[in-house]
């Protein structure tokens, strides 16, 4: 059974989370991106074991980062995630603000691509950075000419420019293509822009996702990833700030400010033991390069050719703000 059909509406209404408690029974806030699935058994086992043992102290050690590095290599062919260049962060928004703070100062410009996850505006504003908008094109994708103009506008006072990229883009669900990301990296090099990427939804892309840090020219960027969306762990808080090779020294300051829960343990457990999101994973035994054309069609996913060209977009179910 598809994981999204497993729980009944009555069961979901018992949940104590924001999505299911914010309003009365006749209103459902679909903008709350919680996952209406059960936990994968390895995650449930890890959480249960940690709670039973009282093993709920401060997370320590590289195990989560190592599990993510293995996952990133296997799933996306992103083979140079170095646990030494990562830092545990409480959640993705905290990690993004942390990364922005590492490469800029109050008053500096941060470029974003509306329409984008609305808290990007609030968090950047709260960090006292100046927002410069580079709207997406009419097709909901990055518009590199608009982005270049925004980089120039943002840098006009000579202040360091940061670009906060959302990949996949929320709310358009576009997973940016290798071409677009390569274009971003080239522009960032030309205009000396530091790129910070939100890749929270990446594990939900069925195939063809391109991590920004795997693109040539991106090595001074930072990406924030998390197990929270793909494995329904939003309440557990487990995100990871990953720095490219040339951002390692920036990250040194932020390292080891970890989340204050057992979340990294259960997130690690899922990356390592559950083998991938049940919402997006490939059939067992297939490598990421093997054809899954019939399965893709059955899932309503775009044809592989278009996925390769455009990047692998999120399944329809995640096209929520």
Ligand X SMILES: Cc1ncc(COP(=O)(O)O)c(C=O)c1O
* 240 lies in the binding site for ligand X (CB under 6 A): no
Among 50, 93, 103, 227, the residue binding ligand X under the rule CB under 6 A is 93
Among 117, 151, 212, 231, the residue binding ligand X under the rule CB under 6 A is 117
* 177 lies in the binding site for ligand X (CB under 6 A): no
Total residues in contact with ligand X, by rule CB under 6 A = 13
Residues 6 or more apart in contact with residue 229 via CB below 8 angstroms: 33, 35, 200, 201, 203, 204, 318
Contact letters for ligand X, residues 130-169 (x by CB under 6 A): ------------------------------------x---
Among 33, 49, 63, 178, the residue binding ligand X under the rule CB under 6 A is 33
Among 40, 193, 200, 204, the residue binding ligand X under the rule CB under 6 A is 200
| Residue number, 172 or 226, with CB nearest to ligand X | 226
What is the footprint of ligand X within residues 258-297 (CB under 6 A)?
Answer: none
Please compute Rg for the chain using Cα positions.
19
Pairing of strands 193-198, 222-226: parallel
* 226 lies in the binding site for ligand X (CB under 6 A): yes
Among 72, 185, 225, 239, the residue binding ligand X under the rule CB under 6 A is 239
Exposed/middle/buried for residue 74 (C-beta within 10 Å: 0-12, 13-18, 19+) = middle
Among 37, 43, 92, 314, the residue binding ligand X under the rule CB under 6 A is 92
Residues 6 or more apart in contact with residue 25 via CB below 8 angstroms: 13
How far apart (Å, rounded) are the C-alpha atoms in residues 248 and 73?
A: 20
Question: Residue 312 gets which letter from DSSP?
Answer: -
Instruction: Output phi, psi for 180, to 5 deg.
Output: -65, -40
* 91 lies in the binding site for ligand X (CB under 6 A): yes
CB 17 to ligand X: min, Å = 12
Q: How far is CA 318 from CA 139, 172, 206, 279, 291, in A?
A: 18, 10, 12, 10, 23
| Residue number, 92 or 274, with CB nearest to ligand X | 92
* 97 lies in the binding site for ligand X (CB under 6 A): no
CB 119 to ligand X: min, Å = 7
Exposed/middle/buried for residue 80 (C-beta within 10 Å: 0-12, 13-18, 19+) = middle
Instruction: Output phi, psi for 230, to 5 deg.
Output: -65, -30
Tell me the window of 91-99, 255-263, 270-278, 301-309 that interacts with ligand X (CB under 6 A): 91-99
How far apart (Å, rounded) are the C-alpha atoms in residues 240 and 11?
A: 31
How far apart (Å, rounded) are the C-alpha atoms in residues 199 and 212?
A: 9
| Residues of this chain that bind ligand X (CB under 6 A) | 33, 91-93, 117, 166, 170, 198, 200, 226, 228, 234, 239
């Amino acid at each position: 059974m598809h994981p999204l059909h497993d729980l009944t509406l009555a069961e979901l209404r018992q949940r104590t989370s924001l999505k299911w408690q914010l309003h009365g029974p006749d209103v459902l806030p679909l903008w709350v991106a919680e996952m209406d699935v059960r936990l994968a058994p390895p995650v449930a086992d890890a959480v249960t074991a940690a709670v039973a043992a009282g093993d709920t102290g401060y997370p320590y050690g590289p195990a989560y980062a190592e599990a993510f590095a293995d996952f990133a290599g296997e799933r996306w062919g992103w083979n140079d995630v170095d646990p030494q260049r990562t830092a545990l962060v409480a959640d993705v928004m905290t990690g993004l603000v942390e990364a922005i703070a590492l490469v800029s100062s109050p008053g500096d410009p941060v470029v974003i691509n509306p329409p984008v996850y609305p808290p990007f505006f609030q968090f950047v504003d709260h960090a006292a950075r100046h927002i410069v908008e580079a709207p997406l094109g009419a097709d909901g994708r990055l518009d590199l000419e608009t982005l270049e103009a925004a980089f120039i506008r943002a840098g006009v006072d000579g202040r360091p420019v940061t670009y906060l990229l959302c990949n996949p883009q929320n709310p358009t669900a576009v997973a940016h293509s290798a071409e677009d990301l390569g274009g971003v990296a080239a522009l960032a090099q030309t205009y000396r822009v530091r790129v910070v990427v939100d890749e929270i939804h990446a594990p939900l892309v069925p195939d063809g996702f391109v991590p920004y840090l795997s693109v040539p020219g991106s090595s001074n960027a930072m990406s924030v990833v998390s197990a929270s969306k793909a494995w329904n762990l939003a309440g557990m808080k487990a995100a990871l700030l990953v720095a490219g090779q040339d951002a390692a020294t920036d990250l040194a300051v932020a390292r080891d400010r970890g989340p204050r829960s057992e979340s990294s343990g259960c997130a690690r457990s899922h990356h390592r033991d559950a083998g991938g999101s049940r919402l997006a994973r490939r059939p067992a035994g297939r490598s990421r390069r093997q054809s899954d054309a019939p399965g893709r069609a059955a899932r309503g996913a775009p044809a592989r050719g278009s996925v390769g060209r455009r990047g692998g977009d999120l399944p329809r179910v995640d096209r929520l703000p």
